Amino acid sequence: MKATFLLTLFVLSSPLMAQDKPAAIEKMPVTGKGEAAPPDLMPNQKAFLNLPEESRNAFLKGLGEATRLFQQKRVFETLEELDKVAKIFEDSPEVYNIRGSCFVEMRAFDKALVEFKKADALAKDNPSIEFNIAEVYFCTKEWKKSLDLLLKILKETGDQNMALSRLVEFKILLCEKKLGMNDEAKKLGDKYDFQDDSPFYYYAQAALAYEDNNLVKAEEWLAMAGRVFQDANVLAPWQDTMVEYGYIKSFYGEDAAAEK
């Protein structure tokens, strides 16, 4: 299966910007007897705080194990661990988000979307979850749905997370190309130059070269990106995006997803 860039998160304690360091939810304020939970918490967060300490600790341990397994691409073991922690506390956006990510790894996009939307309902307006939903739309070629959500994410994140914002803008550019919004795509492609601290400039130029059917030039831009940004982990989500879009042929063959 092709790799797909997704975001995992911990949002029980408070909504986080995508790719931020996971919140230390083990250190969440624990309400004592007769004390009310902080008023700014979501209902599911309050419910978690009201669990016995033993249950909270078991949940956190299991969720950490599920995250570890998923990072190792041990998808079926991850799903088994998630089923266990869901029996302790089911209203966790983390559980649904990771389960959705497992289904994406399996290319079961319909199932993934159901899980991500459950996570979104429990952690509204969380860019990490919204990105994963937009990514499913992107992978299934639902360009307008993906574009609308990506624009929302970009507005929410701004420059607080430059790495994510640039990747979102790149996906916006590609969606605009598919939707015939060529002027908007060209303007966005020229927004940054080689001095930018992200691969955006090189991948945007490569995408525009592919659109002009100039494959040699496109490959040159990708090669330049590789020389400038030598960390494969930095380039992976950009490369995956090019594969999902169709510019670069996947090692695993073509997707079954029909363009919409």
Pick the CATH number of 1-140 from 1.10.10.60, 1.10.3720.10, 1.25.40.10, 3.30.1280.10: 1.25.40.10
Domain ranges of the chain: 1-140, 154-251
Query: What sign does the dihedral 143-146-152-157 (CA atoms) show?
Result: negative
Q: pTM, whole model, 2 decimals? A: 0.79
10-residue mean pLDDT series, the chain (260 residues): 49 32 34 52 86 93 95 95 95 95 94 96 90 95 96 87 92 95 91 92 93 92 94 90 83 46
Q: At what angle do helices 127-139 and 143-157 cross, to 10 degrees?
A: 160
Identify the CA nearest to 63 among candidates 46, 83, 49, 41.
Answer: 83
pLDDT in the model for residue 6: 57
pLDDT in the model for residue 257: 45
CB of 23 within 8 A of CB of 126?
Answer: no
